[in-house]
Structure 1
Amino acid sequence: MNNPYRPLPPLGALIGFEAAARLGSFSLAAEELNMTQSAVSHQIRTLETHLQQPLFLRISRRVELTDAGRDLLVSAQDALETVRLGVRRLDAYSKPGSVVIHMPPAFGALWFAPRLVQFRESHPEVDPWLYTDGHDVDLTESEFDITVTASLHTGEEFVAAPFLAEERVPLASPGLAAKFQNRLSEAPLIHDEHPDDWQSWFLAAGLERADCSKGLNFSDTALAVDAATRGLGMCLCDRGQAQPLVSGGRLQVLSPVGLRSGSQYYLVSLKRNLQRAAVRSLWDWMLAETGGS
């Protein structure tokens, strides 16, 4: 099998080349890299031998790039900067208080983010790193310490705890709620892409409405909820996720009728992750916020 990296020169030689090309001097490059000038010269010769063409013109005591050298400099600087930034990002994984947590976008925007101030006040030593998307993740093959998921993980290496049981309730801003409280069948609607939709809710509530598909549409539940806070219509959202907005007076629950699809979300981690104090602190706090243990 062919090695796709065989044509690549040694990375160290590229570093010496980039410094010498940028500074226009082997001696200045050596000073910047804390190397001897002969070591830099050796790196350049190694690179030129590997590429089988000159990269510098040696003119008296100065050097100038050849056309090939100028071309390579652009690629070398881009590549080295990409590697530098990639290595720098790794620092976050080794921070003592860093906890990488994964959850669906609606949980992140509606449940987690509004509680961050409270969490940081009580746990200043923990630095949560929130990653949101709608897909399940494999904790054994990823950098995530905790995930919120509807999939129950089994296996000796996992720890799973019930987090939230989904119940979708109708919500609206206080102004819109006051206007349509006794005639929900006439209120403007806001839709997301959840299978428990307005048609299902009106059927469960025993109310008739012919235009259940009419109204604003969002693919993101959090954006649908935001539109509701702005008085643009009624939305459906999980009661637990919307609680910070209800407690803060930005939304009101319009009916005791909720859609319980049976979806149960779990907090899942690996046993080895929970041995870290920061991960355990965030885990325990999240369960306490939902009445879990």
Structure 2
Amino acid sequence: MLKHWPPLSSLRGFEAAARLGSFHKAAEELSLTQSAISQQIRSLEAYLEQPLFFRSGRSVALTDAGHDLLSTTQAMLQQLAVGIRRLGQYQKPNQLVLNTTPAFARHWLLPRLADFRALHPEVDLWIYSTDEVPDMATQTIDLAVRDDISSQAECSFKVLHADRLYPACHPSVLALTAPQRTTLHGEREMDWSHWAVEAGIDVGQQDQGLNFSDPGLLLDAACSGLGIALVSQLLSRQARADGVLQPLVEDSIRGPNWALLTHRDSEQDPMAKSFSAWLSVNLNPHSDDGEHAGA
């Protein structure tokens, strides 16, 4: 880490001059005088102890060092601009920040978002999906819905749904003989070793096959006909309804618990309460056609 950084204004002046090939045009773009741009670049060259431009009269051209710095500076300024724009999300009066896993967001939440929007159009929901469990004490998050989370300080904790797992595949794969079916492997509970211990039923699973760390991608692979997989009943509801996934047997085994974390500052927020109530109802409908709790 550098102990001292060149001023951001000098980097902006350098980037504009390098991109436009002119100190004069850079000054116009940044609403500065040409002498101010020249001074910024001279200061930057003095800091770096090497020239960034070849100067010939009014024309300028980048040195090799200038070309190198330009790519770095443009990437940095672009990333900074994106980060600053993103901060505007926190100023929205009706913003509700929800953290969840990519698999839950894609396979369960997304198909039902229209329903939530119709019921609560006033809520500006920001879905922040991550593979990593968030730290609710340090991150600006109102709610978290995950199957890999436990209680945290500054938060209330509630188990919403006890998931079940079952072996399934695309209907086209059912027509294949067991040796012809590729076995799709997942991690944690979705590994076939868990099925072997809990259910003890041979559905033609093999040790070899394709391996996935993301349960959502594992479900996608099964729905696309790549092979048989041990999948979540909760996440596969839409796939079952769409007819792209069928169980190999009617048995199922225990899966992970889906839990809700609510930050203390959001517990009395009407928007958070509305989303939590809607979530609870939809996670545990009175009946799930085609799903069996099994053994």
Query: Tell me, what secondary structure is at the counterpart of 1:84?
Result: helix
The one-letter amino acid paired with 2:109 is F
> How far has the Cα of 1:51 moved from its partner?
4.3
Q: Which shows bigger deviation, 166-175 or 236-245?
A: 166-175
Q: Distance in 2 between matches of 1:265 and 1:24?
A: 56
Q: Which residue of 2 aligns with 1:67?
A: 63
Deviation, structure 1 residue 247? 3.1
Separation (CA, whole Å) in 2 of partners of 1:21 and 1:205: 66
Using a 3 Å threshold, how does the CA distance of structure 1 residues 46 and 158 change in structure 2: closer, same or farther? same
- C-alpha spacing 1:73/1:240, structure 2 compared with 1 (3 Å): closer
The question of 1:221 aligning with 2:215 is answered yes
User: Which aligned pairs between 1:164-243 and structure 2 lie closer than 5 A?
Assistant: 164-174=161-171, 188=181, 190-195=184-189, 197-198=191-192, 201=195, 207=201, 209=202, 212-213=205-206, 216-219=209-212, 220-231=214-225, 233-243=227-237
1:160 aligns with 2:160: no
Number of aligned residues: 280
Corresponding residue to 2:282 among 268, 286, 289: 289
Would the alpha carbon gap of residues 21 and 238 (structure 1) be closer, same or farther in structure 2, given more than 3 Å must change? closer
AA aligned to 1:80 is L
Shift in Å, 1:65: 4.4
Q: Which structure has the larger Rg?
A: 1
Sort the Cα spacing of 1:86 and 1:5 in 2 relative to 1 into closer, same or farther, 3 A. farther
SS at match of 1:269: strand
Structure 2 vs 1, CA of residues 290 and 45 (structure 1 numbering), >3 Å: closer, same or farther?
same
2:254 equivalent to 1:244: no
Equivalent positions of 1:1-293 (< 5 A) are 4-6=2-4, 8-51=5-48, 62-65=58-61, 67=63, 70-71=66-67, 72-124=69-121, 125-133=123-131, 135-147=132-144, 148-155=146-153, 157-174=154-171, 188=181, 190-195=184-189, 197-198=191-192, 201=195, 207=201, 209=202, 212-213=205-206, 216-219=209-212, 220-231=214-225, 233-253=227-247, 255-260=249-254, 263-274=256-267, 278-291=271-284
Aligned partners of 2:53 and 2:66 also within 8 Å: no
Shift of 1:172: 4.0
Give RMSD over aligned pairs.
3.8
After TM superposition, give the deviation of residue 271 of structure 1 in Å. Answer: 1.8
With over 3 angstroms needed to count, the CA separation of the structure-2 counterparts of 1:57 and 1:127, relative to structure 1, is same
Alpha-carbon spacing, 1:200–1:22, altered in 2? closer, same or farther (3 Å): closer
Deviation at 1:165, TM superposition (A): 0.8
Paired AA for residue 246 in structure 1: R
Tell me if structure 1 keeps the 8 A contact 2:163–2:257: yes
Q: Unaligned stretches of 5+ in structure 1?
A: none
Q: Which moved more, 1:272-281 or 1:234-243?
A: 272-281
Q: Is the 8 A contact 2:98 2:125 kept in 1?
A: no
CA distance in 1, matches of 2:44, 2:200: 78
For residues 291 and 230 of structure 1, the distance between their equivalents in structure 2, rounded to whole angstroms, comes to 27
Counterpart of 2:265, as a letter, is R
**Alpha-carbon shift at residue 168 of structure 1 (Å):** 1.3
Question: Cα distance, 1:140 vs. partner?
Answer: 1.2
State the TM-score, normalized to the length of structure 2. Answer: 0.73
Structure 2 gaps, min length 5:
286-295
Identity %: 33
Taking structure 1 as the reference length, what is the TM-score of the superposition? 0.73
Q: From the superposition, tell whether residues 191 and 39 of structure 1 become closer, same or farther in structure 2 (CA, over 3 Å).
A: closer
